[in-house]
Structure 1
Amino acid sequence: MKVKIILGTAREGRKSERVAGYVLKKARELGWEAELIDVRDYLLGYTHRWKVTPEMEKYRGRILEADALVIVAPEYNGSYPGELKILLDTIFDEYEGLPVGIVTVSVVTGGTRLLQELRLASVNYRMLPVAQVLFHNVDDLFDGEELKDEKYTERVERLFRTLERYAKALKPIRDEVRRNLIEKAERL
């Protein structure tokens, strides 16, 4: 199974980076072929989908090979970071049939409003949000890169078990969508 883990903030000193690194490591330990997609590598100033840049094409290719997504992001003003919104908006049809796990990161609240916003956006992109982990008080959860609280280990493992079940079930949909996208591109 292939999972793409999107680190959804470019902010300096981002706490989400440590969480995304942990999620990436855990995915690999569980046997997933895991890759990190960092929004810092795709800082776009617009969402003009028909003006495709090399960065956008690279992102599109990475999403098309995924069986599942995990989005790791902090809550910004009750929602998710603008650079994540811009990145997600660069494509649309390519997301269909992808199960998505949402991992929120917060120094206090855990990101419940972020979770609500990303679940709604995911459905709009025709992804299926199936699992979530809310990292509360993230400053207290890590010693360096090591997670100190074992209940989060269990929650992340459950997230990947759930993603795997849905990735297998939704594979026929993803395969059909991807075939249609290839056929459409060949006609152009």
Structure 2
Amino acid sequence: MKVKIVLGTAREGRKSEKVAEYITRKASELGWEAELIDVKDYLLCYTHRWKVTPEMERYRKGILEADALVIVAPEYNGGYPGELKILLDTIFDEYKALPVGIVTVSVVTGGVRLLQELRLATVNYRMLPVGQVLFYNVDDIFEGDELKDEKYKERVERLLKTLEKYAKALKPIRDEVREKLRREEEHLQA
């Protein structure tokens, strides 16, 4: 199973980085091929829907090989970071039938407003949101790189197991979508 974990902020001192790295490590421990996609490596000023940049193509290829996606983001003013929105908007059809877990980070609310926004956005992209984990005060629940709160460990494990079930169930649809995209690309290049 291949999972991509998107770290959705490029801000200095980001608490969500620790969460994204933890989830990536836990997915790898399950024997999955887990890759962290950091938005700071894809800082685009705007979307180029008709002009594909090398960063966009690299992101697109990563999504096309994924069986599942986890988005980890902090809540910014009741929503999600602009750089995450821009990255997500660089592609569209490639997301179809991709199960997604949403992991939010916020000291006060845990990111509940962000969760609502990202759920709507992922449905619009034709992904299937299948679970979430809301992280409140990261400094209080982590000791170094490890979660010290058992409830959070259980929530992350449940999220990953749920993603795996949906990834298997949706595979025929993803395969069909990806084959169609491959044929369209070949046709455009001919």
Interval containing the TM-score (normalised by the shorter chain) = over 0.9
State the match for 1:145 in structure 2: 145
Per-residue deviation, 1:107: 1.6
1:32-181 matches, cutoff 5 A? 32-181=32-181
Question: 1: distance between equivalents of 2:165 and 2:90?
Answer: 27
1:19 aligns with 2:19: yes
How far did 1:32 drift? 1.3
Q: Is the 8 A contact 1:107 1:139 kept in 2?
A: no
Gaps of 5+ in 2: none
Unaligned ranges ≥5, structure 1 = none
SS at match of 1:31: coil
Alpha-carbon distance between aligned partners in 2 of 1:145 and 1:42, rounded to the nearest angstrom: 25
- For each residue in 1:79-107, what CA deviation from the matched residue of structure 2 results, as whole angstroms up to 9, or x when unmatched? 10000000000000000010000000112
Partner Cα separation in structure 2 for residue 71 and residue 4 of structure 1: 8
Deviations 1:108-167 (A, max 9, x none): 210000000000000000000001000111120111112110111110000011001100
Structure 1 SS opposite 2:31 = coil
- Residue 102 of structure 2 aligns to which amino acid in structure 1? I
Coordinate RMSD, CA, aligned: 0.6
Q: Whole-Å Cα distance in 2 between the matches of residues 146 and 94 of structure 1? A: 33
Distance 2:111 2:34 in 1: 24
Q: Equivalent residue for 2:182?
A: 182
Secondary structure at the aligned position of 2:13 is classed as coil
| Identity rate, percent | 82
Q: Which moved more, 1:17-26 or 1:139-148?
A: 139-148
In structure 2, what is the Cα distance between the partners aligned to 1:46 and 1:81? 13
* In structure 1, distance between residues paired with 2:141 and 2:175: 39
TM-score by length of 2: 0.98
SS in 1 for 2:9: coil
Aligned to 1:6: 6
Note the C-alpha offset of 1:29: 1.1
SS in 1 for 2:160: helix
